[in-house]
Structure 1
Amino acid sequence: MANPFHIPGVSVESRALMPLVRGAHTAGVTVLGVALADLGEAETAASRVESIGPAPLASRLGVAALAQGSVDTAAVAATLILEERGAGTRAVRSDPRRVAAAYGSERLFTIDGTPPAVWAALSGFFPTVDGWLRTHANYPHHAKRLTGALGLPDDATREQLGDALARTRATEAVRRIRAAGGVAAEARPGDPAEDRRRTSAGILARQSFAGPRRPWMDGELPLAGIRVLDLTRVIAGPVATRTLALFGADVLRVDSPRLPEIGWQHLDGGAGKRSTLLDLEASGDRGRFDALLADADVIVLGYRPSGLARLGLSPADLVARVPGIVIARLSAWGFDDGDADRRGFDSIVQAASGIAWKESADGRVPGALPVQALDHSAGYLLAAGAMSALRRQRSQGGTHVVATSLRQVAAHLLSSPAGRAVEVDPDLSDQTVSHQSASGLLRYALPAPSYAGSPADFAHPPHPWGSDVAKWLPR
């Protein structure tokens, strides 16, 4: 397997730092230890974590440890910045119940007391002629492509979709759905050899290139004065950028007005951030975006590489255009040519990687993790990578790239020790906060990463989609 994080199109004269861990994902190695090693951080950084038990997330796989470790990695990365800036060493103490609440945030989120409809009718597992298939149709355009691929009307019901899939082989259904631009995956038994290949490449990767050294800004929080362009959606990317906002960054999410968004999901991942709409294929909006980019310290990319390249926003383009920036990349499947442009979501990666069968209750019907753990973990890990890269940029200079994918996280989970019996608290409402906002009275989960003296809440509640001007806040 080729390096799943490779950045094509960058001169070989640039200095590339590959993952520092090879084959280290074995029993007893924590996600915190692996991630810190991948980022080139000192092993002793893990000692600042004061363990108070795993997150109460019951699973056959080691989801509790994955969640706690991913959140703690982000908190440790923030404390390393504070230490470098002269604020001393801070203990990390991320509350397991708060971690569980953050990972299951969609179950706690409400608008004016009303919870959202999390899953669309056409999303889920369906039996086929020869197996099981998982669909994702929460976005209207994906639902339309799904039904069209199977010759169904746009307003097809779940029953009609189930009938069509029950008459079709799983591989043929997936082929047709993907060809139409929809999202689906067979529920596969897993491939340990692929998981070993993926874990040998690390859970995070980094590359560095020549660039100027930028200064820190004044402020009490580790990311005070840092400007982050957020080009992500759904869960993983917004979790990453929300974490950067928690630690003081000015995060501006940029969306296309032509791409539909799920309102509640945007709000659930939007605390502490601002949101603007720009059509990057329109000259006026593109000019405004380029001005934002020129003054950005970090850009987080969650869209498929082909679309970013078409807009001149591939990592290679950004390395050349914005020396000194930190580029954080996120993907469902990785960055190999065969994977990079494949559509995917947490539930789809669970099905394709073998997680769904590992979580099956009876071995006959596939199951799922108790939360969208691949998404959330990838988000916290990517935030940690961005903070580690920022610290290196401020001390050494350079242009830095960090990357992870949901499939890399899945490989780590599948290669880690099995889950333990964890007492699950069904009521995590005390781990939420309510704020009146322009969208109504919002209740959402409190931030999960925590160190001594870190913010207890986000700086402000989520802003409605596209409600902010396309400008940076004054430093």
Structure 2
Amino acid sequence: MDGLWRALTGEEPRPVAMTGPESVLPGPFRVTEAAAQSVAAATLAAAELVRLKGIDPGEVSVDRRHAAAVFRSERYVRVDGEPPAALWEPLSGDYRAADGWVRLHCNYPHHAEAACRALGTRDLAAAVATRTAWDVQEAVVAAGGAAAAMRRPDEWLASPQGQAVAAAPLVEWDFLGAAPVRELSTSDRPLGGVRVLELTHVIAGPAAGRVLAAHGAEVLHISAAHQPVLRPLVVDLGMGKRSAHVDLRTAEGRDTLWRLVSEADVFLQSYRPDALARLGFSAERLARARPGIVVAELDAYGWRGPWAGRRGFDSLVQMASGIAAGEEPRPLPAQALDHGTGWLTAAAIMTALRRGATEGGSRRVRLSLARTGHWLDSLGREEGAVDELDPSDLLVETDSPWGRITHVLMPGAPLGMAGSRLPGMDRPDWN
């Protein structure tokens, strides 16, 4: 934990108590430990904000089993006792190619259409079997889809992108300009009075927003009616947030977003690199419009190298970076790159807010799934781990517009959270 805190913040950490078994998840990677350390980092960052307000937060303690459960929270979510929907669409999966394996991510309709278009058929298994994995990957990506050929760890580390990721810090910090010191609210919640504008999708970005909401932030999630959603993830990761639709393809929508920015403390986004900047919402312009803002940006493959702008998801990064390598793909027992990046992003955001309250200034933090994977790999391996996680005592029920949601209680945040909202059901305004 000490090394992670220094990598995140450059600071000496305070003590954190870790409890519970060292491993409750299967596989050779130390996913339970990564979960515990990620949750501990965010919980410690929240405690430091409370300490800055003159309140003793007490000892920071993290139960490893609870941390592992929240890393698999989308598996456990229920609405009125039933799973909200399947997590994976039928065309998504690992396909055997002529020389290995390739994973196609087809959970979004436009990605499924791109894969079928690139391969000339909906019989993806037959088409992939006649081509090399790399050829399939590049054809699908060129068509606007999302895919990754399985590589060995040494192949990834020898590649230009693998080298760029390995050379990058876990969190990239940028000072965006001077701004007055921003006072913290008198709330006893770490993020009471903090407004977070969240433009994210899938898991990593929404997970970061959920952590911030759990610690008291007002989180407004912005999407658009034309954008597809994965219902189980929206139900699970939308806890504690409001949800509004804003169409950034229109001048009216962009004006609305600038109005929201003018009162935001945090701008959290996980669009592909430069996608929002092309619409005018670069980190530099955000800092000029709202001095003191914290901008947090997430991507799949890192912020430098030839793949910096490539579409990617947790399962694809596992394949590309060698984490899933084997005779057949061996995925992690959780979407650990997503959840880990989400919790570490929340820790970085809270640290940036604390520095803004003591030093002033606008800041940007950038993280990536691939760099989180590099950190996970650095934790080493464990032998004989099995799935021993029964989360039933960690589940709570919360009412919501979806129905009654059963979900994992958020670790490190003692208070409950409001239930998820339906996409776009709120006005694009601050309370």
1:374 aligns with 2:332: no
Alpha-carbon distance in structure 1 between the residues aligned to 2:166 and 2:13: 22
1:150 to 111, 115, 119: 119
Q: How does 1:269-308 map to 2 (within 5 A)?
A: 269-308=237-276
The aligned residue for residue 455 of structure 1 is: 414
Q: Work out whether residues 52 and 96 of structure 1, in 8 Å CA contact, stay in contact via their aligned partners in 2.
A: yes
1:203 to 157, 170, 173: 170
The aligned residue for residue 407 of structure 1 is: 370
- 1:75: how far off? 0.2
315-324 vs 176-185, greater mean Cα deviation: 315-324
The residue matched to 1:44 in structure 2 has which SS? coil
Q: How does 1:328-343 map to 2 (within 5 A)?
A: 328-336=296-304, 338-343=306-311
- 1:390: how far off? 0.1
- 1:426: how far off? 4.5
- 1:196: how far off? 6.9
The aligned residue for residue 109 of structure 1 is: 77
1:398 to 351, 361, 376: 361
- 1:55: how far off? 5.1
Q: 1:200 to 1:312 in 2, by over 3 A?
A: same
The aligned residue for residue 42 of structure 2 is: 74
Q: Work out whether residues 29 and 377 of structure 2, in 8 Å CA contact, stay in contact via their aligned partners in 1.
A: yes
Taking structure 1 as the reference length, the TM-score comes to 0.86
The residue matched to 2:295 in structure 1 has which SS? strand
> 1:115-148 CA deviation, whole Å, 9 max, x = no partner?
2311111111111111110111111111111111
Alpha-carbon distance in structure 1 between the residues aligned to 2:289 and 2:247: 20
Percent of aligned positions that are identical: 37
The aligned residue for residue 325 of structure 1 is: 293
The aligned residue for residue 97 of structure 2 is: 128
1:187 aligns with 2:154: no
Q: 1:70 to 1:426 in 2, by over 3 A?
A: closer
Alpha-carbon distance in structure 2 between the residues aligned to 1:179 and 1:305: 17
The residue matched to 1:248 in structure 2 has which SS? coil
Q: 1:44 to 1:92 in 2, by over 3 A?
A: same
The residue matched to 1:130 in structure 2 has which SS? coil
Q: Which amino acid aligns with 1:124?
A: G
1:95 aligns with 2:63: yes
Q: 1:413 to 1:239 in 2, by over 3 A?
A: same
> 1:405-441 CA deviation, whole Å, 9 max, x = no partner?
0000111122321135446334312211122321122
33-42 vs 104-113, greater mean Cα deviation: 33-42
Q: Which amino acid aligns with 2:369?
A: L
Q: Work out whether residues 205 and 403 of structure 1, in 8 Å CA contact, stay in contact via their aligned partners in 2.
A: yes
Q: Which amino acid aligns with 1:127?
A: R
Q: 1:331 to 1:348 in 2, by over 3 A?
A: same
Q: Which amino acid aligns with 1:57?
A: L
> 1:380-400 CA deviation, whole Å, 9 max, x = no partner?
000000000000001110001
The aligned residue for residue 164 of structure 1 is: 127
- 1:193: how far off? 5.2
The aligned residue for residue 433 of structure 1 is: 396
Alpha-carbon distance in structure 1 between the residues aligned to 2:200 and 2:311: 14
Q: Work out whether residues 4 and 37 of structure 2, in 8 Å CA contact, stay in contact via their aligned partners in 1.
A: no
- 1:111: how far off? 1.8
> 1:339-392 CA deviation, whole Å, 9 max, x = no partner?
3320000000000000011xx4xxx21110001000000000000000000000
Q: Work out whether residues 28 and 385 of structure 2, in 8 Å CA contact, stay in contact via their aligned partners in 1.
A: no
Q: Work out whether residues 69 and 389 of structure 2, in 8 Å CA contact, stay in contact via their aligned partners in 1.
A: no
Alpha-carbon distance in structure 1 between the residues aligned to 2:410 and 2:108: 26
Alpha-carbon distance in structure 2 between the residues aligned to 1:463 and 1:372: 23
The residue matched to 1:355 in structure 2 has which SS? coil
- 1:205: how far off? 2.0
Q: Work out whether residues 337 and 373 of structure 2, in 8 Å CA contact, stay in contact via their aligned partners in 1.
A: yes
Question: Structure 1: 5+ residue runs without aligned partners?
Answer: 1-31
Alpha-carbon distance in structure 2 between the residues aligned to 1:426 and 1:297: 37
- 1:197: how far off? 5.7
CA-based RMSD of the aligned residues comes to 1.7
Q: 1:282 to 1:198 in 2, by over 3 A?
A: closer
Total equivalences in the alignment = 425
Q: Which amino acid aligns with 2:378?
A: S
The residue matched to 2:256 in structure 1 has which SS? helix
The residue matched to 1:198 in structure 2 has which SS? helix
Alpha-carbon distance in structure 2 between the residues aligned to 1:438 and 1:148: 37
Question: Structure 2: 5+ residue runs without aligned partners?
Answer: none
Q: Which amino acid aligns with 2:96?
A: P
Alpha-carbon distance in structure 2 between the residues aligned to 1:456 and 1:213: 29
Alpha-carbon distance in structure 2 between the residues aligned to 1:429 and 1:43: 36
The aligned residue for residue 315 of structure 1 is: 283
